[in-house]
A and B are shown apart, each in its own frame.
Chain A
């Protein structure tokens, strides 16, 4: 049994998905934390929804978007000429992991951004700094622990993603079979020994992630 290949794929998918959640999630968290605008509650609902929806529902919605006839799927097919679009590629696994882990990133970093004292932001403005400069030089550094904690949780969630990934990326050995899918395969076919090894790797990894995350959250902002 090749354990390294699904482990490598899982790490690859989780790292890409985590980078995407940071790039997309941090600005959304900032907007939700510090802006008052029409549609704020709708945006909040949309980005939080994947946390409570069953993975199969998310997978179904993703099929509509990135499937052969979906908006993104068509665009991808147009660019690459592939018949199935993004479906059944490791990119699809990244998209699935990104969607399910985004709420964790947003909720955690949003909480830390809300904790940044408004007076510090006002001070930055009166010192002539733009909103973007204030975001980069004041808000991000002061909420960095929350952002790191959010990224850690998002990484953990992306590593463990199963349902939505199976629906959009399939379970193709050596191509889209991530660790959770491999554990599923091994269990189904009664290879308990190899499944156990992968479970232990996962448990260890999850333990490290939760430890790091809780350490960062407990410390809070202690400048």
Chain B
């Protein structure tokens, strides 16, 4: 079950209650992670790609097929977009058994073909023996896998996973990543995953798309993004991974010593940069952006500390 090369091009704009999303990125037949703080527009992007939320303007193209184009007034309904979508709360139908949930999206198949397809995904996602149970009768990890099986059973052209790990503890999370890896071996389709866990982004993704305040801050392979964050926000997001505890204990004191003020035009730094064994010229003061919510900090290679103004 291997599909050819796929491509997803996304350019979306949406304004909601003062929040403005304006993003543009592309992905191929790979596992891409939408990564960023909560409220940066990741889930909204997912829902617009799936057709559940209508953008104000933009264009979504998958394998040359235009799914949304505001200029041409094209908006393919979610039923016809052929995306497998798994949301944060999984949305398994509580009145249907596991097998019926998986079979729900199968259309145009004979009863026998449908049974075979369900059996195939029950086997692939290690759900044997659970077909006759209701979602409330299985464990959280099993429910995640059922949701994944249901999304994949109709053979979608791309898979969208909107923070499927948000409510999971570490073992369940690992179990679900295992399941996704299994799926990757059998189904080569673009997989887009929303997460705010930098470890997941770094270890699992082929491509990281970093969101911040409704914009794409950085897009690239995990190593590229980590080595060259390109902006203070991305460095801040990724630094959580790279700040080794107790390596430079004076940094924390330095952060407390830092005082800064900001007006509409300029930033004024007072105090000293982080004091430590290697302090001094290595540290570069950086301002994330002007205006409310800006971050200021000192950057040293990939190791940075930041303070919100």
Residues of A within 8 A of B (CB): 117, 119-120, 122-130, 137-138, 141-142, 221, 223
* Residues from chain A with Cβ under 8 Å of B50 in the complex: 122, 126
Residues of B within 8 A of A (CB): 50-52, 77-85, 87, 89, 91-95, 104-105, 107, 134, 136, 150-151, 154
**B91 touching A128, Cβ below 8 Å:** no
Tell me whether chain B's interface is mostly helix, strand or loop, or mixed.
loop
**B154 touching A127, Cβ below 8 Å:** yes
Known: A122-B50, A123-B92, A126-B78. 4 other contacts (CB 8 A): A120-B93, A123-B87, A127-B104, A128-B80
* Bound form: Cα–Cα A127–B85 in Å: 8
**A128 touching B87, Cβ below 8 Å:** no
Give A142's nearest chain B residue, CB to CB. Answer: B95
A178 CB to closest chain B CB (Å) equals 38
* Residues from chain B with Cβ under 8 Å of A223 in the complex: 94-95, 134, 136
* Residues from chain B with Cβ under 8 Å of A130 in the complex: 79
Give A144's nearest chain B residue, CB to CB. Answer: B95
* Bound form: Cα–Cα A123–B105 in Å: 10
A136 CB to closest chain B CB (Å) equals 12
**Cβ-defined partner of A127 (8 Å) among B51, B95, B150:** B150
**A138 touching B79, Cβ below 8 Å:** no
* Bound form: Cα–Cα A127–B77 in Å: 11
**B87 touching A138, Cβ below 8 Å:** no
B62 CB to closest chain A CB (Å) equals 14
* Bound form: Cα–Cα A122–B50 in Å: 10
* Residues from chain B with Cβ under 8 Å of A119 in the complex: 87, 89, 91
A-B contact pairs, 16 of them (CB 8 A): A117-B89, A120-B93, A122-B91, A123-B91, A125-B79, A126-B52, A126-B81, A127-B104, A128-B80, A128-B107, A129-B104, A130-B79, A137-B104, A138-B93, A221-B94, A223-B94
* Bound form: Cα–Cα A122–B52 in Å: 7
* Residues from chain A with Cβ under 8 Å of B84 in the complex: 126
* Residues from chain A with Cβ under 8 Å of B94 in the complex: 142, 221, 223
**B83 touching A126, Cβ below 8 Å:** yes
* Bound form: Cα–Cα A223–B94 in Å: 5
* Residues from chain B with Cβ under 8 Å of A122 in the complex: 50, 52, 78, 85, 87, 91
**B89 touching A128, Cβ below 8 Å:** no
Give A122's nearest chain B residue, CB to CB. Answer: B52
Q: Which of A127, A129, A138, A223 has the most CB of B within 10 A?
A: A127
Closest 6 CB pairs of A and B: A127-B105, A223-B94, A123-B91, A126-B85, A119-B91, A125-B78
A19 CB to closest chain B CB (Å) equals 24
**B85 touching A141, Cβ below 8 Å:** no
Give B85's nearest chain A residue, CB to CB. Answer: A126
Known A123-B85, A223-B134, A223-B136; contact A128-B95, beta-carbon cutoff 8 A: no
* Residues from chain A with Cβ under 8 Å of B79 in the complex: 125-126, 128-130
* Residues from chain A with Cβ under 8 Å of B92 in the complex: 123
Give B83's nearest chain A residue, CB to CB. Answer: A126
Known A122-B87, A123-B85, A123-B87; contact A128-B93, beta-carbon cutoff 8 A: no
